[in-house]
Amino acid sequence: MSCGATTSTSMRIPCGYRFCPTNKELLKYLQRKKIDNLPLPCDLIKEVELYKCDPSELLAQFGSRGEEKCYFFTSTYRKYRNGIQPSRSTKNGYWKASTGETEIKERNNVIGTMRSLVFYYGEHPREKKTNWIMHEYRLSEHQSVNHAQFPTDPMKVYKHYTISSLYNNSL
């Protein structure tokens, strides 16, 4: 199954280097790519429809050897048409927040937030908790998104364009 990845030229990092960005660096990638609409130096963060796929499919399609985490740009959609709560369901399960939002600061200014989520297979009340963990990074509310770069979709939550890191806690 395709997870809706956008195609782009891929640039690899040099042998011996690892992609281990800090929380602040991830928010700066999000700012640069999605707000300022500038290219990134490497194509290590794929743009996908994260909630169209289960985590194992994402890892199989985008994971690389030796890397513990995969990183993705994704947009979120509303769970309800007139609501603000994002839908985090996939075809076989759902992501559930396991922590509240943690503020990420730079020079005492909040530049964004990070939240941890756990993947559950199945539907409530027969769901099964897995070892899949996602960290979702979001820019703070005062960062404005250029709405013209997104298709008109009343279900899309524009302010919730995120960058997510995904990994299996048991690996």
Closest Cα partner for 56 from 135, 170, 160? 170
Residues 58-105: tens digit of each pLDDT: 988 887 766 778 999 888 888 888 887 888 999 999 999 999 999 999
Give the residue ranges of the chain where pLDDT is below 50: 7-9, 144, 146-151, 158-159
Closest Cα partner for 56 from 111, 1, 136? 1
Global confidence as pTM: 0.80
Return the pLDDT at 7: 47
Q: Name every residue whose Cβ is closer than 8 Å to that of residue 6 and which is 6 or more positions away in sequence.
A: 46, 47, 48
Return the pLDDT at 2: 64
Give residue 131's region: left, alpha or beta (phi > 0; psi -120 to 50): alpha
Q: What residues pair up with 133 in beta bridges, in sequence order? A: 118, 167
Return the pLDDT at 160: 58
Return the pLDDT at 4: 64
Return the pLDDT at 155: 56
Return the pLDDT at 171: 66
Quickly name the fold that domain 23-168 has.
2.170.150
DSSP string spanning 33-53?
IIIS----SS--SEE--GGGS
